[in-house]
Each structure stands twice: as structure tokens, then as C-alpha cells.
Amino acid sequence: MREIAKRVSLRLDSTEYAHLKQLSIDTGLKMEPVIRRLIVGAELRPRPPGELTELLRQMSGVAVNINQIAKVANASGFARMEDIAHIKMMQGMLWRAVKEL
């Protein structure tokens, strides 16, 4: 970890402080890291929505299911129609979840 050697005191009016606080809330960072990133010209990105974690978990589960079905299909030489229908149903659920974000 790098050493922080210098300390800077900063005075802000209420509008500037409110803007800094809003940036902090939007990015999920404390005010000090927001100021540091602004100084070096880094792009501040908003924090991803909380639902993103659940969506990624669901997508991972779908990927695992598809991989298992593909493994069985490769071993047996065919895929069951009910497995394909299950994949399509899960894909539809994920698309709906993505659109809601």
C-alpha cells in the first residue's frame, strides 16, 4: 500500500459539499477517494444496482445447467426436447430480469 505523506485541508460551500456527497453516494466510495480520483482525472462510475449480484448468480446457474446438458448431449449424441425447452425458459427469465434493470 502506498504511503500518504501530505495532508490537504479543503473548504467547500454547501453546494459544493452537497455535490461531493452525491458523487460519494452514487459511486459507493467515501469522499476522500472520490476527491483523489477527480484529481487524477479518473472516471467516476456509479455503483452497480444491488440486483446485479443476484442476476449474475442466476446467469452462472443457467450456464452450469447448459454445460451439463451439453455434456450429456455430446456423450449420448442427442439432446432431449425437454432440456432444450428448460434452457429456453430459463433464458426468457433472465432476459426479463435484465430488462427490469
pLDDT for 3 beyond 90: no
Q: How confident is the model at residue 29 (pLDDT cuts 50, 70, 90)?
A: very high
The per-residue pLDDT for range 42-78, each reduced to its tens digit, is: 989 888 777 778 888 888 888 888 888 888 888 888 7
What's the Cα-to-Cα distance from 89 to each of 76, 86, 94, 96, rounded to whole Å?
Answer: 23, 5, 9, 11
**What mean pLDDT do residues 2-25 have?**
90
* DSSP-derived secondary structure letter, 43: P
Stated pTM of the model: 0.52
At position 29, the amino acid (one-letter code) is L
If one counts every other C-beta atom within 10 angstroms of the C-beta of residue 97, the result is: 14
Residue 100, exposed/middle/buried by CB under 10 A (0-12, 13-18, 19+)? exposed
| Contact in structure between 48 and 29 (CB atoms under 8 Å) | no
